[in-house]
A and B are shown apart, each in its own frame.
Chain A
C-alpha cells in the first residue's frame, strides 16, 4: 500500500524559507507513471494546489506562487521536497503531499496526512 509522509519544521519565521519533504513508501517515486504534488490548506479554508513534479525533475508550479517555490526529487531516498521562500503569515497552512494517479493531468489518489506549518516570529 502506497504511503506518503510529510516532514519538516512546524514553525517558520516571516521572510524565511519553508522546507518540507515527502517520503514515499510502498512504491517507487521513479515510476514513469506518476507525478507528485504539493497542496496546502489554510486553517478552516479550502485547498490550493502548489505544484507538481516528475521523477525526472520536470515541474508545474501554480503561477500565484511560482516566484517563491522550488520543488525537487531525490530518487535515491524516494523523496520529493518543497521550498517556499519569503514566507508570511498568509502561508500558514496544512501542507499535503500527494500522488497524481496517472500522469500530469490526473487526479490526486494518494495523500499524506498533512503537516501544519505556522509562520510566526
Chain B
C-alpha cells in the first residue's frame, strides 16, 4: 500500500495569514503517461463528509475559493491557503488515487491562532 504522511498533525494560523500543509507519499503517484499526479486534497468540517478541494495535485475543484492551491509532484505535495478565513477551520486530508487501495493521509487539523 502507498502510505500517505501529512505534516504537521495540527496547525494554528492567524486570520489572513498563510497556512501550509504537507503530504508525502511512500512512492510516486505521478503517471508518466499523462504527466499527472494522482493526488487529491479534501476538507472535512465537523459532522460533514469530506469535500474535494484539489485534484491532480493542483487543479481546483469548481466552486473552491482561489485562496486554496495545491502544488508538488512525485512524492511531495503541499496544500496552501493563502489568506486564512474563519470558515477554513477544518481537518484536511490528502489522498492518492494512483493505485488501489486508495489511501489517505492521517489528516491535519487547522485552527485559528
Chain A residues within 8 Å of B, Cβ to Cβ: 46-49, 52, 60, 62-64, 96, 98, 100-101, 105-109, 111-114
For residue B106, CB closer than 8 A to chain A, the reply is yes
Q: Which residue of A lies closest to B51 (CB)?
A: A111
Q: Contact: A60 with B100, CB < 8 Å? A: yes
Pick from A52, A64, A109: contact of B52, CB under 8 Å: A109
Place the interface of chain B in its size category: 20 to 34
Min CB distance B63 to A, Å, is: 11
User: Using a Cβ cutoff of 8 Å, how many contacts connect chains A and B?
Assistant: 55
Q: Contact: A108 with B101, CB < 8 Å? A: no
Q: Contact: A49 with B49, CB < 8 Å? A: no
* A46-B104, A63-B101, A64-B101 known; A111 vs B40 contact (CB < 8 Å): no
* A101-B55, A114-B49 known; A107 vs B97 contact (CB < 8 Å): yes
Residue interface bits B32-76, CB-to-A below 8 A is 1, else 0: 000000101010000011111001000001000000000000000
14 A-B contact pairs sorted by A residue (CB < 8 Å): A46-B106, A47-B104, A49-B100, A49-B102, A64-B101, A96-B50, A101-B52, A101-B55, A105-B99, A107-B52, A108-B42, A109-B52, A111-B50, A112-B49
